[in-house]
Chains A and B, each alone.
Chain A
Amino acid sequence: MRVGKSKRGRGILAVAVTGIGILFLCAVERQESKITSESALGSPRLVSIEELPDLGDICVSQPTTRSSSMIAALQDNNLFSAFQEKRVYASSQEGGQAGDVTRLPVRTIRDTYPIYSSVAVDPLRDEVVLQDTNLFGIKVFNRLENTPADAEAAKPKRVIQGPKTLNEYNNGLYIDPTTGNIHSVAMDTADSMIVFPGGANGDIAPIRKLNTPHRNFATAANEEKGEIYITIQYPPKVMVYRKDANGNDKPIRVLEGEHTKLYDTHGIVLDVKKNLMFVGTWGNASDYKVAGTGKFYPPSINVYPLDASGDTPPLRVIQGSRTQLDWAGGMSLDPDNGNLYVANDVGNSILVFRETDQGNVAPSRVIKGNKTGLSHPAGISVDLKNKEVWVSNMGNSSATCYSLTANGNAAPSRTIRSAPLGRTSVKFGKPQAVAYDSKREQYLVPN
């Protein structure tokens, strides 16, 4: 069988267009009518199993129909795209060339607004920096920005975004308090930590790019020792590098092993004065080297010595039903008052623990409720200078700010909003697969 590619004349008379248009509008109506009737009958079901006849070369040499392509064009609101197609036939095994189908997609699902995974405050510039993990950008706002209710979205002061930035699925965030350098953990498709100079703007290349293991997530730094920490979700570990590490530089030390109780590692925060490292886990566990070792543990916050390495067990573990931990993301610390702030994503809350907490302990304070503006809070940053805590909300393209002493159903003191008020995010995060629910006519999309 062949691949046929008959060329169409480019000049189409208006009369012909009108006539064809009438024809395919009829076809659309028939097609929609057919679909409606099929839908009314329910989803397709298996009614019998019969052996497929030996079809040999089964490809069908029917050309792409004009009506079908024009339906697609109509659905895409682009009438003339249908005329740009080539007539194609299926290839055969002997033909050596595939029959290309080049019609445009009929529908696209995506989120055109930012999805904010992490937040940090730049004390040098009095700015709030937000990681947009949807559009792969870093958006920088004035710290005192407070988006009015009637505004569609706040305008950032600067946006670091574009192919030169190498920033993809960006999550973990650290701002150097001296230089303002922005450290961005680029996850998944990037597997790196990239660094931009303070004040960076536009589509610029990072000044450093440290290649990290797959499934990196969060970061924190020990400025006194010039070290930067990066959590790896799985196989779970905490990598510690020189702060200026670059390229394929090796870590100074690594915390990993069965005694660490690191299971699906997430947020991290350091208390340099007390020599402590706090690491959040989600409890999904297995040793990839051994079959059948999978287990689910309750989520936890594990506390280690600051310089822990190897298979070091935690000093303490905060874990249990009273903790309310539910896919906790970022963590931040007020060392002066010994308070540990946790962005509790699916719990739609901010949990505040004492640094000294241990076991199945309830948080000392919980910010939660319909006045808070919280919606899948994933990132958190304590601003010690201004006695505030900032939260990035993945669920509504916003960042909300609270007093460090806020509690309960507290309204934010300010909100930076990058989508219309009330909008809910699609919350895509690398949708690698899709399944079709034929009963409900729905798409199932995992992140």
Chain B
Amino acid sequence: MNTPQIAVFARLAKENTVPVRALEGQRTMISRTMHSLAYDSVHDEIVVNSPLAQAILMFRGDANGEEPPLRVIQGPRTQIQGTDYDGNDKMAFDDVHGEIIIPVAGNKVLVFSRDANGDVEPIRVLSGPDTQIRGSVRGHALVGVDPINNLLIVGSTGGQGGGRDEGEGGRGGGRGRGALVIFDRTANGNAKPKAVIQGPHTALGGVATIQTYPPKGWIIAGSAGGSIGAWSIHDSGDAPPRWRIPVQQITGVAPSGVALDPVHKELIIASGGRNVLLTFYWPEIFD
């Protein structure tokens, strides 16, 4: 990655379509390694990590050019801590309850109010041996949130690096060690999970994002072999994905990040390995 940016494309953009706008430059405070970002549909804001500066940035929804963030969460009270490999690059956003959820070094998950600004303490810290949260050797766990069914999903990895539990689509070991650890959304302290999806049949791994589709109770996450899988929020144990798109098998491109567009019943895939975005029509999980 040579120069960071947050490029914005029309949904129907295709090959060589120029972005409609881009956030970039010194005043934006963005940096490389932005492996998560979210759109706050309630407040029309963009939420993104500034991974090298242990910060969370919030921009206007239509921010453009060298526009500074509206708010910055950063400082000693935040407890935000990255790793040498990942920085602090993971995040999920709960736009129903207005909360930013970020996993940090030391197998912790911090929760901040979206209103927070400056050097503020997290409103919850999920951490401890009973949580079963395991980051990768040089990175963090992954996080997703289901604000309707009140669940926090933590991708507990244990892989070698990059925050992933690298399965066949990844570069390292860790296959089969990955887990989706499901908590009450407001879990705090050394809380035990409600359920754990883990085992050789789960084939978890390979993607740095966890998404949810609450109306149908789906957890969308990476699956081995460069696939995207859909698990039920009611799954536990050694559960394979209910649905799977074998992205790499179909396109030759390994996925790294995912987003959902429920209105058009589409799954959007970012591939950090090959500079490409793919959109799949996936009505099976939305209908």
Contact = CB atoms under 8 A, between A and B. Distances in A.
Interface of A: 35, 38-39, 43-46, 49-52, 55-60, 62, 64-65, 68-69, 71-72, 75, 88, 90-93, 95-113, 115, 117, 133-134, 169, 171, 187-189, 214-215, 233-235, 264, 282-286, 288, 290-296, 298-299, 325-327, 329, 345-346, 376, 378, 394, 423-424, 426-447
B62 interface: yes
A113 B17 CA distance: 12
B54 interface: yes
10 contacts: A49-B147, A101-B245, A169-B1, A325-B26, A430-B1, A431-B276, A432-B256, A438-B41, A445-B9, A446-B6
Nearest to A291: B81
A150 to B, nearest CB: 20
B54 A293 contact: yes
Contacts of B81: 288, 290-292
Contacts of B48: 446
Contact of B232 (A93, A283, A288, A428): A93
Contact of B264 (A35, A49, A51): A35
Contacts of A444: 6-8, 37, 39, 46
A445 B6 contact: yes
Contacts of B259: 434-436, 443
A288 B84 contact: yes
Interface string B266-287: 1011111101111111111001
B109 interface: no
Q: How big is the B interface, by class?
A: 35 or more
B29 A296 contact: yes
A113 B84 CA distance: 33
Contacts of A325: 26
A56 B229 contact: no
Contacts of A294: 50, 53-55, 74-75, 80
Interface stretch (B175-183, B186-194, B233-241): B233-241
Given A346-B25, A431-B277, A444-B8, A189 B272 contact: yes
B44, B80, B87, B214, most chain A CB atoms within 10 A = B87
If over half of A's interface residues share one DSSP class (helix, strand or loop), that class is named, otherwise mixed; here it is: loop
A69 B283 CA distance: 9
B268 A434 contact: yes
Given A35-B263, A108-B276, A433-B34, A171 B2 contact: yes
Interface in B115-154: 119, 147-149
Contacts of A112: 15-16
Interface of B: 1-20, 22, 24-26, 29-39, 41-42, 44, 46, 48, 50, 52-55, 61-62, 66, 74-85, 87, 95-96, 104-105, 119, 147-149, 201, 208-209, 214, 216-217, 223, 229-230, 232-237, 239-246, 249-251, 256-266, 268-273, 275-284, 287
Contact of B208 (A90, A187, A433): A433
Nearest to B279: A107
Contact of A446 (B2, B5, B236, B263): B5
Contacts of B258: 434
B3 to A, nearest CB: 6
A44 B214 CA distance: 13
B256 A376 contact: no
Nearest to A215: B32
Contact of B38 (A100, A286, A435): A435
A327 B26 contact: yes
Contact of A435 (B39, B77, B239, B282): B39
Given A50-B148, A100-B246, 15 more contacts: A90-B243, A93-B235, A99-B284, A108-B14, A108-B277, A108-B278, A110-B276, A115-B2, A235-B84, A294-B55, A294-B75, A430-B272, A435-B37, A445-B8, A447-B4
